[in-house]
Structure 1
């Protein structure tokens, strides 16, 4: 991996992780266009740079993390379903990850759903994510399980889940940001543990790549989150729906044209 490739992947991660567009789908296109091989470090890199994007949420919403323990309890409750299913279905999920076509199809399907979400859930009653109940948090957590299917988008599934529980688009998006923290932190720790357990040792250059990746991802994610909230509040999901459809069809087009796409 070159420094240029690391920066490009970090930009993709920062831009897409919290948007309902599937960061996995974009990483596929990015790595394919740059001709990258799915080495153990590259696979680790695309997961661990999520730490930078997590930090962006902590910085932007730091006041939320000092209000009460109730906030953390609700996040824990919401994280339970995906954590359990993720461990139980690990082999099945790994098999799905071998299919770029699955990612492309789910991008298109999810895009079509986003075209109509604003009409389906147009009577929100909760404008602050702190006001949701434990039951609502748990239900949103089940929606997050849909993101175990590659290409679905964790952000899209949790935001839609929040809207089904009468949250405004903004409140649902913010709860999705907060819920990303335990899930992404857990995924990073597990990936790092497996990497080291397999006997891999970081080189000085790889450490530099991880630092640069996280810094770039942090900066880009801050910009992406601020822009996303503004666009989502004013215009809703339709633009993101069309965008997903275009990206999904692009991946299908690359596959049909003979490109060998690897999910990193």
Structure 2
């Protein structure tokens, strides 16, 4: 294999490859490094044929990750005596749902541009280097103390993550901190907001491509395995991220994003092909 074939897809997805993609999803969905960007990179490096099912898999495997949030915070999600929580989630997810529906085809086209992913990772990494200094005086330590207007403003930050490589987690956590939430409170609200956001995106994809999903028992098997793996890995990743965020802040993730972004852009400008 020559260097120019590094990012070429030459095979179909196997069970092992599906597991690896699910591990990547579980590890990166809730940390500010862009799960979409990392799944694109992992698929490319493994030479997975980017057919319609592979694209569907990379969206639907998010179900396992969001189930991890529901399980870890089940008291929050099933405390029906506090309807404010659900209304804040509704307001927070509304902007992304509207823009995602209106510009879905354009967003999908950006997924096919590795330079967009690389640039978003790089610029987002630079932003993360300074976030801790920008927001040093938080006044809100839980979502219960956050009003409805702050919830919808965080929702508009989430819209930035419609650009592949930005990171939904990074955008919403920064949005939360800009609205005076502590790092811990902003991270948790980001986790909560992921549930309706990704459930809606996944549900839409399944409805749109249900024939593809049901056309093969192998497709269903891969999706089930992927979601189980993503669930387990995401459970561990969420617990790790909360602790690391409290201890180290965002700089470590900023440096990581810059390195990955530079590698992708260097490969792109050097002529490497990354079929996405």
Asked if Structure 1 and Structure 2 have the same fold, meaning a TM-score greater than 0.5 normalized by the shorter chain, the answer is: yes
Secondary structure class of the residue paired with 2:32: coil
Could you say which residue in structure 2 is the equivalent of 1:239? 252
1:169-215 deviation line (CA, Å, top 9, x unaligned) = 01000000000011101111111112125x66331222111111001
Q: Would you say 1:248 and 2:261 are equivalent positions?
A: yes
Q: Would you say 1:138 and 2:160 are equivalent positions?
A: no
Could you say which residue in structure 1 is the equivalent of 2:140? 126
Secondary structure class of the residue paired with 1:254: helix
TM alignment of 1:91-102, pairs within 5 A: 91-102=105-116
1:118-137 deviation line (CA, Å, top 9, x unaligned) = 00001011111222100000
Take 1:98 and 1:117, find their aligned partners in 2: how far apart are those partners?
A: 29
166, 180, 183: which one aligns with 2:197: 183
Could you say which residue in structure 1 is the equivalent of 2:66? 54
Q: How far off is 1:253 after superposition?
A: 2.7
Could you say which residue in structure 2 is the equivalent of 1:82? 96
147, 150, 165: which one aligns with 2:164: 150
1:88-142 deviation line (CA, Å, top 9, x unaligned) = 2223222322211011001000000000000000101111122210000010001
Take 1:205 and 1:188, find their aligned partners in 2: how far apart are those partners?
A: 19
Q: 1:136 to 1:210 in 2, by over 3 A?
A: same
1:216-260 deviation line (CA, Å, top 9, x unaligned) = 000000010000000001110000000001111121233234332
Moved over 6 A (4+): none
Q: Would you say 1:5 and 2:17 are equivalent positions?
A: yes
RMSD of aligned residue pairs (Cα, Å)? 1.3
Could you say which residue in structure 1 is the equivalent of 2:39? 27
Q: How far off is 1:262 after superposition?
A: 2.8
Tell me the TM-score normalised to structure 1 length. 0.96
Structure 1 unaligned regions, length at least 5: none
Q: Would you say 1:226 and 2:239 are equivalent positions?
A: yes
The answer to whether the 8 Å contact 2:214/2:220 transfers is no
Take 2:231 and 2:108, find their aligned partners in 1: how far apart are those partners?
A: 27
Tell me the TM-score normalised to structure 2 length. 0.92
Take 2:242 and 2:257, find their aligned partners in 1: how far apart are those partners?
A: 18
Structure 2 unaligned regions, length at least 5: 1-12
TM alignment of 1:163-202, pairs within 5 A: 163-196=177-210, 201-202=214-215
Take 1:233 and 1:200, find their aligned partners in 2: how far apart are those partners?
A: 40
Alignment: residue pair count: 262
55, 77, 97: which one aligns with 1:65: 77
Could you say which residue in structure 1 is the equivalent of 2:8? none
Take 1:57 and 1:262, find their aligned partners in 2: how far apart are those partners?
A: 32
User: Higher mean Cα deviation, 71-80 or 251-260?
Assistant: 251-260
Take 1:219 and 1:200, find their aligned partners in 2: how far apart are those partners?
A: 23
Take 1:167 and 1:104, find their aligned partners in 2: how far apart are those partners?
A: 29
